[in-house]
Amino acid sequence: MESRCNRLSFDYLLMLMKNRILSDTLFTILRLLAATALSFCFFYLGNQNTANITVIYTLALILTALHTSGFLYGIIASLFCVIAVNFFFSYPYFKFNFSLDGYPVTFIGMLAISLITSATTTALKQQRKAVADREKALAEADREKLRANLLRAVSHDLRTPLTSIIGSSASCLENDPELSDEERTELIANIKEDAQWLLNMVENLLTVTRIDNNSVNKVKKSPEVVEEVISEAIQRLKKRLPDIQIHIDMPNNFLMLSMDPTLIEQVLINLLENAFIHSGSSAPIDLIIRDQEHVISFAVRDYGSGVSEDQLPHIFEGQQISSDNADGHKGIGIGLSICKTIIQAHGGVITAFNHTDGAEFTFTLPKEKEDIINA
């Protein structure tokens, strides 16, 4: 089986090499034929100046060296250019005359141009490949770091509520006769709350999978009405947190923005839910939208205890961060890590800082060309 795979890989590489050779050969032939045809037009229909012909062939030579791999095609093109100038455009026409003054200099000059251009373009191609490989390696390292951070966060966030659900359900089953209606209701409420938290966790994990399945960590965008996306996110959140109060401040003008609406809704839900649960305040949460020249910004501002200064630099890294004002199992690391992944996949930026009366999380989404036109 392994030898068969190796054979298939070798055949595939061989096919790629053949296609590359064929492509370079056709490009060189077509470029030289086009240069010859253009030279005939200039020479026989206009001013019979060999210098003009030399310029045309030199341009064709440079283009050939730029768009082909290696030095061979450039050298062959150099030979053809020198011979063509001698045969077609030097007296006696359509005959070879290697005794012309300056002929060796013309050949050496064109050959030097070909070699220098080929060497330069080869070096540039190698540099581009090295940069692309480096960017790919950095992107893969970021993905691996995200996976590791998510695994650490999930290992805690899933285990603790599951333990609580098992404990509460066991108490209901084993001690049901001794439990009062109030105690029974409290246990069932705890089970529902922990189950809801687990559901939110699963939604976040599915979100990561959805992004990771897209090539180069990009998402499929479509023009969306910002107000509708915000409304849908708040409706979904209020089903989970009926007591949450949100004050929305946004422009009166119609806002369209290219985005993946489901993913941005998840970001808004995560940020608003964190503000409600971890701020330690019952004051309404501000959701502020601003229409700027090249981006639209979204800010979630709470009026609570803020975020510890020690946690701020690492708050989006997916590490488990617990709140002193909420249940111990409800860490905020994974949700904010998901938010950062989504916003970066959209080409935006997300930040967090403390203001005088609490914390504020802000993210921006860039406007596409069609967004600016629609505005």
Indicate which CATH number applies to the domain containing 228.
3.30.565.10
Report the sign of the C-alpha dihedral through residues 223, 226, 232, 234, in that order: positive
Highest mean pLDDT of the ranges 25-29, 104-108, 245-249: 245-249
pLDDT at residue 99 tops 70: no
Residues 142 and 91 in one domain: no
In the prediction, which pLDDT does 212 show? 56
pLDDT at 261 over 50: yes
Residue 297 lies in a domain: yes
pLDDT band at 190 (very low <50, low <70, confident <90, very high): confident
Do 179 and 37 have their domain in common?
Answer: no
Task: Specify the pLDDT at position 326.
Answer: 42
Q: Select the more confidently predicted residue: 302 or 171.
A: 302
* Shared domain check, 220 and 92: no
Domain count, the chain: 2
In 3-state terms, what secondary structure has residue 353?
strand
Residue 56 has pLDDT above 70, yes or no: yes
Which range is least confidently modeled, 73-77, 100-104, 111-115? 100-104
Instruction: Identify the pLDDT of residue 137.
Output: 84
- Structural domain harbouring 241: 137-374
269 and 367 share a domain?
Answer: yes
CA atoms within 13 A on the CB side of 46: 12
Q: Is residue 361 part of a domain?
A: yes
Whether 295 and 361 share a structural domain = yes
Q: What is the pLDDT of residue 250?
A: 93
Same domain (yes/no): 146, 48: no
Residue type, position 45, single letter: L
The pLDDT assigned to 366 comes to: 93
Q: Which of 100, 120, 154 is where one domain is finished?
A: 100
Same domain membership, residue 285 and residue 147: yes
My answer on whether 62 and 149 are in the same domain is: no
Residue at 130 is within a domain? no
pLDDT of residue 248: 94
Residue 304 has pLDDT above 70, yes or no: yes
Supply angle C-alpha 81, 86, 88, rounded to 5: 90
For residues 150 and 85, membership in a common domain is answered with no
pLDDT at 266 over 90: no
324 phi, psi to nearest 5 deg:
-75, -15
pLDDT in tens, 129-149: 888 888 888 877 776 776 666
Measured CA to CA, the distance from residue 263 to residue 371 in angstroms comes to: 19
Q: How confident is the model at residue 286 (pLDDT cuts 50, 70, 90)?
A: very high
- Looking at 50, 76, 100, the residue that finishes a domain is 100
Residue 111 is assigned to a structural domain of this protein: no
Q: Are residues 93 and 142 in the same domain?
A: no
Does residue 21 fall inside a structural domain?
A: yes
**Band of the pLDDT at 298, cuts 50, 70, 90?**
very high
Considering only 65-69, 112-116, 181-185, 357-361, which range has the smallest mean pLDDT?
Answer: 112-116
Residues 25, 163 within the same domain: no
pLDDT at 312 over 80: yes
What is the model's pTM?
0.55
Q: Do 241 and 355 lie in a common domain?
A: yes
What is residue 111's predicted lDDT score, i.e. its pLDDT?
A: 67
Does 89 or 276 have the greater pLDDT score?
276
pLDDT band at 372 (very low <50, low <70, confident <90, very high): low
For the chain, give the percent of residues with pLDDT over 90: 16
Distance CA 266, CA 216 (A): 21
The amino acid present at 251, given as its one-letter code, is: P
Last residue of a domain, one of 100, 124, 150: 100
Residue 193 lies in a domain: yes
Cβ neighbours for 346, distance < 8 A, ≥ 6 positions apart: 219, 221, 259, 260, 263, 264, 365, 366
Please give the pLDDT value at position 74.
Answer: 75
The answer to whether position 125 is within a domain reads no
Query: How far is it, in rounded angstroms, from Cα 270 to Cα 251?
Result: 23
What is the rounded average pLDDT for all residues in the chain? 78
Query: What crossing angle do the helices spanning 103-174 and 72-89 adopt, rounded to 10°?
Result: 150
Q: Which amino acid is at 317?
A: E
Which comes out higher in pLDDT, residue 224 or 74? 224
In a domain, 113, yes or no: no
The predicted structure's pLDDT at residue 322: 47
